Structure formats: structure tokens, C-alpha cells
Amino acid sequence: MMDYALLLRTFLLRSARYFPKKEIVSVYPDSIFRYTYGDYYKRVCQLAHALESLGVKRGERVASVALNDHRHLELYLGVPCYGAVLHTVNFRLPQNHLVHVLNHAEDQVIFVDEDLLLFVEMVKDQLKTVRQFVVLSHTGKMPATSIENIVLYDDLIKDFPEDYDFPIDLKETDPALICYTSATTGDPKGVVYSHRAIVLHSYAVATTFGAGESDCILHIVPMFHANAWCGPFAGVGAGCKQVLPGREVINMEKLCAMIAQEKVTFTAGVPTIWMLLYDYLEKGGKHDFSSLRNIVSGGAALPRNLLIEFTEKYNFPIKQAYGSTETTPLVTAAIPKSYMTDLTDDELYDIRCSVGLLVMGLEMKIVDDDGNEVAMDGKQWGEICLRGPWIANEYYKDPERSAQTFIDGWFHTGDVATIDEEGYVRLVDRTKDLIKSAGEWISSVDLENTIMAHPDVMEAAIIGVPHPKWQERPLACVTAYPGRTVSADDIREFLGDKVKASWWIPGDVIFLPEIPKTSVGKFNKRELRRLYADGELKSL
């Protein structure tokens, strides 16, 4: 059989040839833009010509500092199919980290959304390799700026031909995208995704969730975050209708309107989004979820009570999945097996509250401190280790940290978990977030999820704080739902018969208006620890 490279160009060409009438929709605050895959392909071809005109060479990095819209989607396929590497930049990074990732990647061109130009303005004088700035503008107007060598995207591409001979002689192992982790310590780490990795991962996403051409995908996950969980690639390859919400992604009223009006079937997001949505629904928010078939939650644990409430009150079929920047990201998905139909509701919720089964195509082992695999009993803890065709094997230009994380061909995730006899994985904690009290381990994740089962609690983050007698004790940082009240005694009483032992119950509970978040929406425990150490962590 002919050795045929797995390249993203096959996804692009397929959608253009066989699904030219299917829609791509961008939602802006004051308008909605619609065009087809036929139109999309022509603009991607023009983009490829434009990259050539700018002198971008194969393998060079091109940055996107952009929201989720059709122009960003053009970059998603246009840049790697041309032969360059798209660097999707997390504009929410601290300024020093933003400078680091742009310089470390050695980006040649920056494509920046007009609404995000400020972030680039702040760091432009510190950038070492960028020679051209391109503004992605839905208004068609150049924002006021002091940046030189800047042009509007539509002006850049408009005069180029609407066809392009995308190279077939790329290697499938050639880089297609690069993304940087939002580091909790040190500088962000770069993860490079090859054409082969993204193609195979896209197949895994489609197979795992049963996605196909008839689906309509709403892209809630930021396109700078782990390839938007590869939804855009899978969507283009399958010829799905795609809806891109831009700035409106945190407007729950508009998000629900998009789902109803566009007949969305598939979407994904982090628990922070689902908590905002739940609060909107509980206040009587207008919605119609009848079209939805797949909703994926990832990035952090989804509280059990929230999953149950979404399912039983709002017919919102949410399921958990697990992955990371280093894993492209899909690793596991919490989908019951076909013979589990006779399980009780509680047993099914137990499965759906896990992070699920390993997806097809990967290998996983969960190992103890001595490197031995833990028993599949749902009790023994160990670190998740992974390998497979879309699992990274190094950090970009970072041999020291690569050696600490990628060992003997396995990616050591730093995530502690159990695995039961059916193969379902349950996260216990990050290794750095486990709390050791009186010689015994406490899982901050378990404790957080239990506290968030309280009907008045919206968010709860647990950190370990020093204790003169017990080494460490858990400190609970809690946010109540708007308009509701809850006390420390309420929390402790609620935990009384729900935790594994009485010493798990936090002695101190601090109430905050909001839990600090990382740039990708996870609880920022590093910041909570800093606030505690500086004496700044105080209740409302």
C-alpha cells in the first residue's frame, strides 16, 4: 500500500469539494456573519498566497492572538496546510509570559483580533522576530494603533487568487500548530502538534462522541486552548456546520439563543462556563436544548450535583472528558458501556462523574511511587502516564523540563487517579495539590466536589496550609451563588457524613466573591497559596 502522509490538507479539500454549501457562522455583538465552506476554501487559498507574499517559509511560526470566529478558523487550516506552523496565543497570559511565548516561538507574523490589539500594543517593543502585524477586523476599520508594519487581514488577502496548490510533499510528522501551557511555575511550556497527531486525534474525537456531517458544533472552548479541543479540525474534516461565538461566549442569554437558533448538536467547555450557564438557567433564563446531543466538560472536575441538575432539570446531556495541552487534548471520556443500561441512576451517575475510559488509540498506565501499576479496584491511587500518536514527547526547545516529564517514552501527567475494574478513571488530584495531614493524604478534588454539592455553593477550591501539629490542613475557599448565603458551620455540617474521615473536614472556611482563575478557567491555587502566605486571603 502506498505510504500516504496524514495531512490536514485532506480535511480542507474534503469540506470544500463535498460540503461547499454547509455554513460557518460568526456571532458578533452587533451582527451575525454567515458563509459557506465553498467561500471558506477560497479565502484560505488567498491566505496561503498572502503568507507566501510575506515571505513566510515552511516550518516558520505564525501567531494568532484571536477570538473564536471565521477568520481564526481560516488560520487554523490555512497556515498548516501552507506548510507553516500556527501558534495559537493565549492573550490572557500575564504580560511577561506573553512576551516569552511570542519570542520563544520566534513568530514571524502576528494575526491579531481588533478587539485584542491592546494586548499586542503592550508588548510590541519587546518582540524580537515579528516583522508583520495583521488585524482581524469584522468592522473593516483599522483601529488606532502605534504599531508599524500593520495591515487589515481582508485587505491583505483580497487581491490574491482563490485557488492554491497546497503542498502534498509535507511530512505527516511536520509541525502544524504550537500551543503553550499556562504555567503554574516558571515560563509556559511549548507543545508542538504534528499533522499526523491532529488528524488521528480528530478521528478519535469523532469516533468517541459519534460526531459527523449532520452535527452543528458551537465552539465555546477558546481556540487558543489546546486546539479548541480539536473541534475546528474535526468539524472541517467532517463538513459540520460550525458556530463561532467570539466575545459573546460568556453571554449566557446569547449562548442559549445560538444553541436554539442554529440547532447546535455538539459543544464543549470548562466547568466555569457551565456554572455560569446553570446560574442563568436557575434565574429563569430562556433556552431550548432540544437539538443538543453531546456536551463535553473538561479542564477540571464537574461537580456531581451540577451534572445531575443539568440532566434532570434541563435535559442538558453533559459528559466529562479528560486531557491536557500535552495530549492534544482528548484522553478519556465518561461514556457508559452498552451493557450498563440496567444500572441504577446512582450507578450511572458514578460513571458519568468519572473522567471515563481511555479513548481508542492511546496507552495508559497508572503507577504508584515505585513505578508499579495500581490495581483496577477504584481505590489505589497513582499517577496517570500516557503514550500514543497524539501524546507529546517533549516540550519545545526545553530539554530540562522535558526530561522531568517525558520518561522512557511515557508522558507523566502529574495527575493522581484511580481506575476501577471496568477501566473508568477518577481523578484524585494534581500531585502538587494533594494535602498531607497527620501522615494521611486528602484529595482536594474530592473535597471540592463534595462542598460544591451544597445547594448554595457555586465554587469551592481547597488548598493545603501549614499546621504546627498536623503538618498541613485543608483550607476551603468558597463562593456562594448570587443572592444566597452559607456559613462555615453550614459547610462543616454538610460535610459531616459525606467525607471519608472527620479529619478531612476543613477547620477554616473563607468566603470570597470569586475564586481566582487561571487563564484557561481553572482554579488558580497558586494564587490562593500566595494570598494566604501574604496574609491577604480573608473572608468577605
**Closest to 329 in 3D by CA, of 243, 234, 265, 187:** 234
Cα–Cα distances (Å) from 329 to 41, 83, 202, in that order, read 26, 22, 10
Q: Report how far residue 42's alpha carbon sits from residue 243's, in angstroms, rounded to the nearest whole number.
A: 19
Strand pairing category for 425-430 and 330-333: unpaired
Strand pairing category for 410-419 and 425-430: antiparallel
- What ranges make up the beta strands (E) of 23-92? 23-28, 31-36, 61-65, 85-88
Known catalytic residues are 181, 326, 436, 441
Residue 81 burial class via C-beta count within 10 angstroms: exposed 0-12, middle 13-18, buried 19 and up? buried
Q: Report how far residue 391's alpha carbon sits from residue 383's, in angstroms, rounded to the nearest whole number.
A: 16
SS3 189: coil
**Residues 349 and 308 sit within 8 Å (Cβ to Cβ):** yes
Which amino acid is it at 254?
A: K
SS3 430: strand
**Residues 160 and 44 sit within 8 Å (Cβ to Cβ):** no
List beta partners, residue 201: none
Q: How many residues does the chain have?
A: 540
**Residues 477 and 528 sit within 8 Å (Cβ to Cβ):** yes
Q: What are phi and psi of 331, to 5 degrees?
A: -125, -50
- Grid coordinates representing 497 are 457524613
- Please name the residue that has the C-alpha cell 451544597: 454
Q: Report how far residue 226's alpha carbon sits from residue 245's, in angstroms, rounded to the nearest whole number.
A: 18
SS3 119: helix
Q: CB count, 10 Å around CB of 17?
A: 12
No. of H helices and E strands in the chain?
16, 26
